[in-house]
Amino acid sequence: MVGQIVGPIVVCNNNCSTTCPTKRSDALQPESMEKLSELIKGRLANHNLSESAKSAEIIHKANLLIAEKFNREKSGAKAYRFSDGILFIAAESAVWSQEVWGVQDSILKSLKKSFGNTVVKKIIIKSLTIE
């Protein structure tokens, strides 16, 4: 793959040296081009960024659900990590742990509805300092 045109911008897929092949007249032929969206997906997959983005999205959604369940913007509980299908929620006290424990099934059900049944499998609540 030599290069591609994205609007007026040429994206080179080579490790360029002083003579970039995209400057050749045959370098930008349609058969040698790839959509920018496909290129980005490939780069994200190569750097495992798509998993990190999905984890961040799940954590964000969980925090919104926690705020919604307790009718407050800032509560004593916060989702802070998602790994291998497990969502970790920090609670600032035993009381908050108990409160979150009482709504964890509802949070899990909402997350499964948003992200699919196999993505978020379990919630673990830990008593930790929340920042």
Q: Domain-by-domain residue ranges, the chain?
A: 3-46, 50-127
pLDDT in tens, 58-86: 999 999 999 999 887 778 899 999 999 99
Report the distance separating Cα 98 and Cα 31, nearest Å: 60
pTM of the shown model: 0.61
CA distance linking residue 63 with residue 88, whole number of Å: 11
Coil, helix or strand for 3? strand
Q: What is the spatial distance between Cα 5 and Cα 39, in angstroms, rounded to a whole number?
A: 12
50-127 is classed CATH 3.30.300.180: yes
Q: Name the token pair of 61.
A: 């959604």
Tell me: the pLDDT tens digits for 96-128?
A: 999 999 999 999 999 999 998 889 999 999 988
pLDDT band per the 50, 70, 90 thresholds, residue 11:
low
